[in-house]
């Protein structure tokens, strides 16, 4: 391909797995089937409404990937040496996203009709294409895994959220049933949290929740689980724990905050808070909702009795 200099060819080979392990003569023959295209900033290279017949290799510039439309924030970017359109290029399906030039860019393009000719030149190109496709699949799987993890984590406190609690409860219940050991649950919330927010502001309130989550996790046992249930409420699952033992755990959690006078590392200094806790033990007929309800009744009792204390749910 005459339009490429030796330096440019070397750059393409070094940056692109598509040309890995291909000798110089074969590479020149392969590049003859590629065409060069300049893209102005904002140009749409690929869109879900149109069939894509080409594989694109970005030489210069940057491309952005958008899901629903080109005006939504990009979900990722492609830089020099990256590919675009490889999945739809190989499976003959419509693309699943928009690919847009994020700045002035240069791509080289291979049309699908020329792919058999490349296979005739060297079978290595076939293996390299499969490698590229596998890399894209793995990247997609990693993105899904990252999204799934984020979906179960509370963004403010960094601990699991209510959605995760459903899964954790089913897991812990099954294990406790198999081992024939008890499972307890603690429901707790920050005392007078609304008044704290109103007095010191929502940023201070956020700091309280973050510190509370940190302290609770720090004083739990390794096999215990904690989740932010909502607002200023937290839930703790205690597997292989009797009700008296769960009371001791709850008291330890209460004391780790009650013993502090000020929230550490805040300017200006902020007063610390106390928590009220309700504890319940799982019975055979309980589901998560009924166990939560029992712990919530005990929590309500702790509040009615003056807060900053632990109450146990009574089956009577």
Inter-residue contact 193 to 205 (CB < 8 Å): yes
The rounded distance, in Å, linking the Cα atoms of 90 and 131 is 13
The rounded distance, in Å, linking the Cα atoms of 190 and 280 is 19
Between CA 159 and CA 163, with CA 160 as vertex, the angle to 5 degrees is: 155
Inter-residue contact 60 to 106 (CB < 8 Å): yes
- The distance of Cα 157 from the centroid of its chain, to the nearest Å, equals 15
Residue found by looking up tokens 């895994």 in the block:
145
232: annotated active-site residue: yes
The rounded distance, in Å, linking the Cα atoms of 202 and 198 is 8
Q: What is the DSSP letter of 163?
A: H
Residue found by looking up tokens 């598509």 in the block:
18
Question: Which residues lie below 8 Å from residue 104, measured CB to CB, with a gap of 6+?
Answer: 38, 39, 40, 41, 61
Q: Which of 81, 128, 78 is nearest to 99 (CA)?
A: 78
- Pick the catalytic residue from 8, 86, 148, 232: 232
Inter-residue contact 186 to 277 (CB < 8 Å): yes
| C-alpha distances in Å from residue 59, one per residue of 5, 15, 105, 106, 283 | 13, 9, 8, 6, 64
Residues involved in catalysis? 232
């Amino acid at each position: 391909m005459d339009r490429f200099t030796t330096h440019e060819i070397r750059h393409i080979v070094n940056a692109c797995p598509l040309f890995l392990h291909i000798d110089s003569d074969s590479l020149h023959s392969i590049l003859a089937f590629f065409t060069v295209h300049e893209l102005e900033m904002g140009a749409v290279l690929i869109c879900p409404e149109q069939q894509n017949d080409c594989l694109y290799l970005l030489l210069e510039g940057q491309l952005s990937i958008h899901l629903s439309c080109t005006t939504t924030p990009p979900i990722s970017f492609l830089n020099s040496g990256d590919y675009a359109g490889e999945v739809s290029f190989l499976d003959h399906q419509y693309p699943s996203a928009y690919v847009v030039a994020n700045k002035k860019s240069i791509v080289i393009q291979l049309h699908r009709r020329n792919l058999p000719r490349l296979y005739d030149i060297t079978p290595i190109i076939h293996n390299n294409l499969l490698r590229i496709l596998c890399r894209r699949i793995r990247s997609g799987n990693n993105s899904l895994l990252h999204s799934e993890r984020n979906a179960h984590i509370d963004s403010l406190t960094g601990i699991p959220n209510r959605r995760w609690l459903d899964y954790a409860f089913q897991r812990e219940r099954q294990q406790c049933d198999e081992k024939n050991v008890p499972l307890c649950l603690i429901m707790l919330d920050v005392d007078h949290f609304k008044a704290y927010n109103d007095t010191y502001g929502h940023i201070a309130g956020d700091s309280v929740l973050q510190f509370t989550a940190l302290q609770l996790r720090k004083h739990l046992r390794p096999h215990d689980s904690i989740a932010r249930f909502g607002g200023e409420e937290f839930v703790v699952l205690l597997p292989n724990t009797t009700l008296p033992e769960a009371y001791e755990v709850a008291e330890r959690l209460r004391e780790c905050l009650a013993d502090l006078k000020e929230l550490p590392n805040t300017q200006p200094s902020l007063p610390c808070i106390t928590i009220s806790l309700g504890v319940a033990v799982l019975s055979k007929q309980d589901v998560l909702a009924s166990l939560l309800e029992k712990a919530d009744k005990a929590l309500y009792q702790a509040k009615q009795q003056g807060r900053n204390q632990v109450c146990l749910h009574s089956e009577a």
